[in-house]
Structure 1
Amino acid sequence: MNIYQLRCFLSVADTLHFGRAAQSMDMLPASLGRQIKILENQLDTKLFFRTTRNVSLTAAGSAILEDARSLVAQADQLEEKIRAIRKNEKPLLRVGAIDSASAGLMPQLLQFFRAEHPHIEVQLFEQKTIHLLPKLLSGSLDIAFCRPPDIRDPRINFRTLFYETAVVALPADHPLSKQSEIVIEDLADIPLIVPDRRSRPHSHDLTIKLFMDAGLTARIAQIAEEKHTIVNLVATGTGLAIVPRWTARIAIPGVRFLPLSIPPGATRSKLILAAAWTRGTRDPQRDALLDVLDRNLQAIEDSA
């Protein structure tokens, strides 16, 4: 038994006419009759006497009439209460972001967004791209800011935002720290700290490809997972690291960050930051965020 079947029962009981009852329910008489039949089978009793000329309630139908009205009225009150609660709730936008986006993009973007849309609540989840994309497809996230994978799922839209700037993290007392800029040839034979490729393929491949393009081989001294760990290892003298510019905001004593000169070409693609969302979905909160982003993208990109 469900509320819809009880509504069908009440409509017939009030009109004692299947045609008029079906019209009031905006359904075909045959469909209405089928719902009544299902209800009768579930209750194991007949609710209406029906002939070609007349429809009337059985004793059982008359006995449950007021109870059915009460149940439907309670259901209506419950729906109204839920609608009132939802009306008072803030719309929710669930945003996923890789560490670069969480530290570099989101603080500025959310400042602009909250100034224009203070009524929208934003929940931010920081994870790696390999974890964010499945959450988009499952509906756990509304939008994600990530590195687009080499093989893109056709169910997801990717919009390139900008290319992040690469810098070199090195000890403050390192001989290269006196330079205003570093080129890849400066790092030949110098121990390097790189991320694990399984979890951070873009960051790992950026370092490797920069050396390959220069005809060199990266000398990997340490694999590390998180940016904080990498910068702390740089401070201990374990090696140097090529990282996005936002990493300079991690204040570790004894570590400097110098610009890295990257020749134009495919290597920059490893530093793409993109917005991603599930194709074919409509979301006014997500669209509002993208609109604010589009209008302020240049200012955000300048600091990336």
Structure 2
Amino acid sequence: MDIAQLRCFLAVADRLHFGRAAQSLDMLPASLGRQIRLLEDRLETRLFLRTTRSVSLTAAGEAILEEARALVARADRLEDRLRGLRRAQAPVLKVGAIDSAAAGLMPQLLQVLRVERPDLDVRLVEQKSIHLLPRLLSGSLDLVFCRPPENRDPRIVFRTLFVETAVVALPADHPLSGRSEIAIADLAEAPLIVPDRRSRPHSHDLTIKLFLDAGLTARIAQVAEEKHTIVNLVATGTGLAIVPRWTARIAVPGVSFVPLAIPPGRARSTLVLAAAWLRGARDPQRDALLSTLDRHLPEIEASA
């Protein structure tokens, strides 16, 4: 059974109000409602009676309430024990990062740490956000640099660092490669390479939302999984790609990167980079790394 869905059930059961329950979980009410429906579908029974004025538990909801509470508490104790065992076995600070942060933020941060905190032993793991956050919850990672998800687990603290700059990756001999800046309108007829939304929802949605906001439809020529694959496909002339500026650190001959003009709005927010860690977990090494990052954040952000 999905523990996250049980947490949603308990939040609504304790407050009997979807809005307040969603706020306590740092979720949108619609997302919370979807999780409750998924749980009800799995159990094949209604858990709540909902009207425009009130929310109440059904008999089935009342029947499973205390057992659900015990299951969630047991899962929390198990995760706490596993995290404690891992810390005792490996005093290394395990940091996860999405590809753009691994290419841009981490090299700069590690260089500073070698000078200012040589006592910190950092192990870097590069993965997608959808894989990093479960590893944070399991205790196999202590800190993660990721895109914050739409549905945020209340056990995780998400701290926004900055918004990465979007650029267009295009062949070096493309007519637009000499521009100082490219607008979405300039890409109206261009074939595009985008990542699979199931594994990289933020990167995929960035392209789609930019075109929708401009009243255009993105012409998707190819779907690819990894950033280095996308950049190599650009080099072959398969299409153009909208990527974070730190992707330009993937040196591929024949590919240029030109800044993209993005008006303020929803699309730009898909490139938010956040630091994430477990709520309530004490970790002096993690705090030392974050303190060092805070002091050097302006110059790191300037390169993003």
Is contact 1:91–1:285 with CA below 8 Å preserved after alignment?
no
Per the TM alignment, residue 91 of structure 1 is displaced from its structure 2 partner at its CA by: 4.1
Q: Residue in 2 aligned with 1:291? A: 291
- Supply the distance in 1 between the matched residues of 2:157 and 2:123 (Cα, whole angstroms): 21
- Supply the distance in 1 between the matched residues of 2:210 and 2:189 (Cα, whole angstroms): 14
- Supply the distance in 1 between the matched residues of 2:180 and 2:117 (Cα, whole angstroms): 41
Per the TM alignment, residue 189 of structure 1 is displaced from its structure 2 partner at its CA by: 1.6
Q: Residue in 2 aligned with 1:154? A: 154
Q: Residue in 2 aligned with 1:133? A: 133
- Supply the distance in 2 between the matched residues of 1:255 and 1:120 (Cα, whole angstroms): 37
- The letter of the residue matching 1:180 is S
1:73-222 equivalence runs, <5 A: 91-222=91-222
TM-score, with length taken from structure 1: 0.70
Deviating above 4 A after TM superposition, structure 1's stretches of 4 or more consecutive aligned residues are none
Per the TM alignment, residue 178 of structure 1 is displaced from its structure 2 partner at its CA by: 2.3
- Supply the distance in 1 between the matched residues of 2:270 and 2:292 (Cα, whole angstroms): 25
Per the TM alignment, residue 116 of structure 1 is displaced from its structure 2 partner at its CA by: 1.6
Q: Residue in 2 aligned with 1:238? A: 238
Is contact 2:194–2:207 with CA below 8 Å preserved after alignment?
yes
Residue 176 of structure 2: SS of its match in structure 1?
helix
Residue 243 of structure 2: SS of its match in structure 1?
strand
Q: Residue in 1 aligned with 2:271? A: 271
Per the TM alignment, residue 174 of structure 1 is displaced from its structure 2 partner at its CA by: 1.0
Q: Residue in 1 aligned with 2:227? A: 227
- Supply the distance in 2 between the matched residues of 1:252 and 1:264 (Cα, whole angstroms): 30
Is contact 2:136–2:277 with CA below 8 Å preserved after alignment?
yes
- The letter of the residue matching 2:189 is D
Gaps of 5+ in 2: 1-86
- Supply the distance in 2 between the matched residues of 1:98 and 1:229 (Cα, whole angstroms): 15
- The letter of the residue matching 1:264 is P
- The letter of the residue matching 1:137 is L
TM-score, with length taken from structure 2: 0.70
Q: Residue in 2 aligned with 1:26? A: none
Structure number with larger C-alpha Rg: 1
Size of the aligned set, in residue pairs, is 218
- The letter of the residue matching 2:157 is N
Is contact 1:158–1:277 with CA below 8 Å preserved after alignment?
yes
- Supply the distance in 1 between the matched residues of 2:114 and 2:94 (Cα, whole angstroms): 14
Is contact 1:90–1:121 with CA below 8 Å preserved after alignment?
no
- The letter of the residue matching 1:228 is H
- The letter of the residue matching 2:102 is S
Is contact 2:96–2:132 with CA below 8 Å preserved after alignment?
yes
- Supply the distance in 2 between the matched residues of 1:103 and 1:242 (Cα, whole angstroms): 17
Per the TM alignment, residue 293 of structure 1 is displaced from its structure 2 partner at its CA by: 0.7
1:32-111 equivalence runs, <5 A: 91-111=91-111
1:203-236 C-alpha deviation (Å, 9 max, x unpaired): 0000000000000000000000111110111011
Is contact 1:94–1:141 with CA below 8 Å preserved after alignment?
yes
- Supply the distance in 2 between the matched residues of 1:261 and 1:120 (Cα, whole angstroms): 39
- Supply the distance in 2 between the matched residues of 1:90 and 1:222 (Cα, whole angstroms): 42
- The letter of the residue matching 2:228 is H
Is contact 1:90–1:119 with CA below 8 Å preserved after alignment?
no
